[in-house]
Amino acid sequence: MDRRLLIFLGVGLVVALIVAGVVSGFASGEPDGLERVAIDKGFEEAAADHSLGDFPLADYAMRGVENERVSTALAGIIGVAITLAVSGVLFYGIHLYGKARHRKEAA
């Protein structure tokens, strides 16, 4: 991989971490568009609790961390890491699958 691409990826990752770890602390806590419609049109009661709602990162808050800013920041940074890991495995896997198919077609 060329050096310029590595620099681009590095800068991009820093931006993503700043957005997830810092900017996210200033996010509006108001209901989003769908929640607002559900409240206004009277079907928000139909929502069930999330089946993994006890997970330590549920609702973008790191369980056990009192400070809300820090809790959100940690959840965001861990989320970026999880997303990178999952996409790395998936996209590299698809890349290998594509190469294998290509080889089979060429043979």
Report the interface residues with another protein, using CB under 8 A. 1, 4-5, 8-9, 12-13, 15-17, 19-20, 23-24, 26-34, 36-38, 40-53, 55, 57-60, 72, 75-76, 79-80, 82-84, 86-88, 90-92, 94-95, 97-98, 101-102
Q: Which is nearer to another protein, 67 or 84 (CB)?
A: 84
How would you class 20 by CB atoms within 10 Å of its CB: exposed for 0-12, middle for 13-18, buried for 19 or more?
A: buried
In single-letter form, the type of residue at position 34 comes to L
Q: How far is the CB of 74 from another protein (least distance, A)?
A: 12
84/88 Cα distance (integer angstroms): 6
Give the closest residue to 84 by CA, choosing from 24, 32, 23, 10: 10
Q: How far is the CB of 52 from another protein (least distance, A)?
A: 6
Q: How far is the CB of 5 from another protein (least distance, A)?
A: 6
